[in-house]
């Protein structure tokens, strides 16, 4: 009998060890990021952006990047680029860094960034994307191909892997330039948001959507009129929050942000997210 009890105890111990080794870390906060070129990262990152990156800030690579030594579906310290292999600085960079500066030291932050420069929001509609992808401009097709033809499916695929490690706490969106003037944009975003919630078994009340404005009219943004539509997003999605772009540095094309602008924008995304997580910016304490 003692031998049998020992065997049972050993089996239970092994089960516990196995279960614990694959358990979800509730203090690993994961954020999904998607959109077009300003989420992809248009500005070149600078030396200051690649040093002293906290190892508690992680990125799950969404494509294979042999030159970076990164493999799709694996976590790495979030040194840019955070989107595809040759993209630039994004709002996600300083979003994550700013969160960590204001969250408890035992919290880890992870981001997954799937974005395609120049795309309309329909590219992330899992039911209607294919017609758009098939007729996309020649220069856009290689970017879509890196996600095996469906950026939405790749985002969900990576998110499901990430859920084994941590908890999805929010979704970051920067898109709209290619939909400028389209009053159906909020409804289209809502379709994508609801699909993500359903496919990842998430609740809207626990996973807010943060949407950034395009380059502001005060910076002579060529798509600035889209902000009047973006600003109305919470009317369609009650758990959506808009992040102001006013005053963020811009590139010469007045379409993209510059590196300084992305840094500031990322901090603003974090400033909006922190209260939703139950925290305040340290400067506000």
Q: Tell me, what's the pLDDT at 188?
A: 98
Catalytic residue among 21, 106, 127, 253: 253
Percent of the chain at pLDDT above 70? 91
Closest CA to 262 of 95, 101, 56: 95
Question: pLDDT tier at 21 (50, 70, 90 boundaries)?
Answer: very low
Q: How confident is the model at residue 3 (pLDDT cuts 50, 70, 90)?
A: low
Percent of the chain's residues with pLDDT above 90: 90
Pairing relationship of beta strands 209-212 and 167-174 according to DSSP bridges: parallel
Q: pLDDT at position 247, please?
A: 97
Of residues 37, 150, 178, 245, which has the active-site annotation? 37
How does residue 23 score in pLDDT terms, banded at 50, 70 and 90?
A: confident
35 and 230 in contact (C-beta within 8 Å)? no
Catalytic residue chosen out of the listed positions 174, 178, 245, 256: 256
For residue 172, give the H/E element and its range: strand 167-174
Supply 176's token pair: 């709209």
Tokens of 117: 């420069």
Q: Does residue 29 surpass a pLDDT of 60?
A: yes
Q: Please determine, for residue 18, whether its predicted confidence score (pLDDT) is greater than 80.
A: no
Determine contact, residues 170/276, Cβ cutoff 8 Å.
yes
DSSP state of 67: G
Catalytic site residue 37?
yes
* Tens of pLDDT, residues 201-242: 999 999 999 999 999 999 999 999 999 999 999 999 999 999
Dihedral through CA 168, CA 171, CA 172, CA 175, nearest 10?
140
Residue 2: predicted pLDDT: 54
Dump pLDDT digits (tens) for 97-156.
999 999 999 999 999 999 999 999 999 999 999 999 999 999 999 999 999 999 999 999
Helix (H) or strand (E) holding 108: strand 108-115
């Amino acid at each position: 009998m003692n031998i049998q009890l020992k065997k049972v105890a050993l089996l239970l111990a092994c089960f516990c060890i196995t279960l614990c080794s694959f358990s979800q870390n509730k203090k690993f906060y994961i954020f999904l990021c998607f959109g077009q070129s300003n989420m992809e990262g248009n500005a070149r990152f600078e030396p200051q952006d690649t040093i002293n990156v906290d190892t508690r800030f992680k990125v799950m690579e969404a494509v294979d990047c042999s030159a970076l030594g990164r493999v799709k579906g694996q976590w790495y310290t979030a040194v840019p680029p955070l989107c595809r292999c040759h993209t630039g600085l994004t709002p996600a960079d300083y979003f994550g860094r700013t969160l960590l500066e204001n969250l408890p030291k035992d919290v880890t932050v992870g981001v997954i960034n799937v974005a395609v420069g120049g795309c309309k929001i329909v590219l992330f509609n899992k039911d209607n994307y294919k017609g758009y992808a098939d007729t996309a401009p020649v220069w856009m097709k290689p970017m879509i191909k890196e996600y095996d033809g469906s950026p939405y499916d790749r985002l969900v695929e990576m998110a499901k892997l990430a859920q084994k490690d941590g908890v999805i706490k929010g979704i970051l969106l920067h898109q709209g330039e290619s939909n400028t003037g389209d009053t159906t944009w909020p409804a289209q975003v809502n379709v994508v948001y609801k699909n993500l919630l359903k496919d990842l078994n998430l609740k809207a009340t626990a996973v807010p959507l943060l949407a950034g404005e395009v380059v502001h009219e005060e910076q002579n943004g060529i798509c600035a009129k889209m902000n009047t539509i973006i600003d109305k997003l919470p009317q369609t999605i009650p758990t959506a929050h808009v992040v102001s772009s006013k005053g963020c540095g811009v590139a010469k094309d007045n379409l993209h942000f510059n590196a300084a602008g992305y840094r500031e924008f990322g901090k603003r995304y974090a400033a909006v997210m922190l209260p939703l997580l139950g925290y305040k910016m340290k400067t506000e304490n």
